[in-house]
Structure 1
């Protein structure tokens, strides 16, 4: 029995297309115990067929499709079945519940003598001054509220996936040209200042707003240090991938107790542009059991 548990996360940009391009080979070789997927954009039957053909087919599948067909969708694959799972983000009203469908899936797994909660998160991409951005603000508000509940209730939680926000200047290669675009707006980044701020302390965000810190850990930044990247998404335009002109918008966000269990962190960057099966790269973290 291994002394660590490997959790991988990736926005697959459509699981059927990803499998056609080679995702199955990556899944077979990943060594992951739990794999969180975002932007699945497929039906249960499609996922089951694809996963059954991968490796020995020994995966358990949880899936929350979006209510809008062909959009979003999150899933969690695991070698061992989940103890329990929950769909949706917090006590949202009827309109906002639609906005969170296919975007938030929680699953509890045995972890030593306790349990580990893995959450596959696909935050809205947003668009400045449109209803899409309003949906993103509502989602980020609900995420912060749920983070407070989780950190009070559980020792070991990891929220993984595509957060669609670059928190700091280190996280975007060309950050100066993106300060007025969704994904790097000061107001969005201020949420992350609070997510990673000291629990309960008054945190002044990059936009000047103030609010209490939530006390969570950004595994990627803690592990990599104060360096550019490592990026997790690259535009399909131009030579972005070849020049490593990317964004770090895919995270493992963990409770402090789980942060102490991190053994290794890596972005599984593709060897070449032609070898990509998604515009996002998998992010993999090993947690000591």
Structure 2
């Protein structure tokens, strides 16, 4: 089995102080995709270049204390791609792709942090620009290789993906245009929402993010914003999914999916 985890940290230093590394040592994922690491190269060196035996690869935002993504893995990639070719969004440190290519297969694992539009209309418009550009990128990528995209997509796709869907229909993360983008991604583009493939009927158990306002976490008033999105071949290998909620490393929960293949066997 290949165990792959995705988690928005809301700051790697903050998550580390809450026991992230001990949890990784206990759960032993083969690979973990992180979003919102909120650090720079100087912060990583000698402290976060490895976690629980996994080697880290990074795409930092130009702005300090903002965004940034990472992938920690047991297996050495054949190539590391930071950014997806967008001048605007590559500067924000939102995309990291590790390639594990062999003569028989081209395979990528991607950590991606989609913009949130909750800060105001200017950020919602930025989110729409990101979705347009990223859709074209995924279509191109799907034509050349298998991949699993892990990340905080910042969209709850269906009504069952958030607690108060009726009251959030005009809020960023559940807007009709965002949801339509997800529908197209999982339809015309031919990619698979792996968690929903394994847990098609899950509601209250599916949430991966809770607002820090009020008692959202205590009352499980959550959203499903964190995904594994995969090409059909890799999605078919998914066997089990788990969302870890016993310890809060951030306002998101880790999503782990076990796949019935091994990168080691691909070398």
Normalising to structure 2: TM-score of the pair? Answer: 0.91
State the match for 2:202 in structure 1: 227
C-alpha distance in structure 1 between counterparts of 2:156 and 2:132, whole Å? 17
SS of equivalent residue, structure 2 residue 218? coil
Q: How far off its partner does 1:285 sit? A: 1.1
- Superposed, 1:27-46 pairs within 5 Å as 27-46=24-43
CA contact (8 A) 1:15 1:47 kept: no
Normalising to structure 1: TM-score of the pair? Answer: 0.84
SS of equivalent residue, structure 2 residue 139? helix
Give the paired residue count.
260
1:141 has 2:132 as partner: yes
Q: How far off its partner does 1:250 sit? A: 0.1
State the match for 2:23 in structure 1: 26
CA contact (8 A) 2:243 2:256 kept: yes
State the match for 1:184 in structure 2: 174
Post-superposition CA distance 1:118-173 (Å, at most 9, x none): 1101000113862211111111111211111121111x200111000100001010
1:246 has 2:237 as partner: no
The 1:130–1:52 alpha-carbon spacing in structure 2 relative to 1, beyond 3 Å, is closer
State the match for 2:264 in structure 1: none
CA contact (8 A) 2:36 2:66 kept: yes
C-alpha distance in structure 1 between counterparts of 2:20 and 2:132, whole Å? 33
C-alpha distance in structure 2 between counterparts of 1:142 and 1:158, whole Å? 18
Post-superposition CA distance 1:51-93 (Å, at most 9, x none): 36743xx322111111111110000111122110111123x3x
Q: Which runs of 4+ in 1 moved over 6 A?
A: none
C-alpha distance in structure 1 between counterparts of 2:49 and 2:82, whole Å? 23
Q: How far off its partner does 1:243 sit? A: 1.6
State the match for 1:281 in structure 2: 253
1:263 has 2:239 as partner: yes
CA contact (8 A) 2:169 2:175 kept: yes
**Which segments of 5 or more consecutive residues in structure 1 lack a partner in the other structure?**
198-212
Q: How far off its partner does 1:227 sit? A: 2.9
The structure showing larger relative contact order (alpha-carbon pairs under 8 Å, at least 6 residues apart) is 2
1:167 has 2:160 as partner: no
Q: How far off its partner does 1:96 sit? A: 5.0
Post-superposition CA distance 1:208-247 (Å, at most 9, x none): xxxxx11100011111112315100111222211221100
CA contact (8 A) 1:51 1:59 kept: no
CA contact (8 A) 2:109 2:147 kept: yes
C-alpha distance in structure 1 between counterparts of 2:2 and 2:139, whole Å? 25
CA-atom RMSD, angstroms?
1.9
